[in-house]
Amino acid sequence: MRYDNERGKGDHRHLGEREEAYRFTTVEQLLADFERDVRNWRPS
């Protein structure tokens, strides 16, 4: 799992094999979202 802002793709996150857009708002929200994803993540 990772969050990134690759040039040309913009903000997005990778959850296993899935990639989806992510709307960055604040560092605090980013950390909360990441921590939530870590708690809920199940490798495929």
What is the structure's pLDDT at 42?
A: 79
Q: What is the pLDDT of residues 1-44, one digit of tens each?
A: 899 999 999 999 998 888 999 999 999 999 999 999 999 887 76
15-41 b/e (C-beta count within 10 Å ≥ 16 → b): beeeeeebeeeeeeeeeebeeeeeeee
- Can you give the pLDDT at residue 32? 97
pLDDT for 16: 84
Q: Is the pTM of this model over 0.85?
A: no
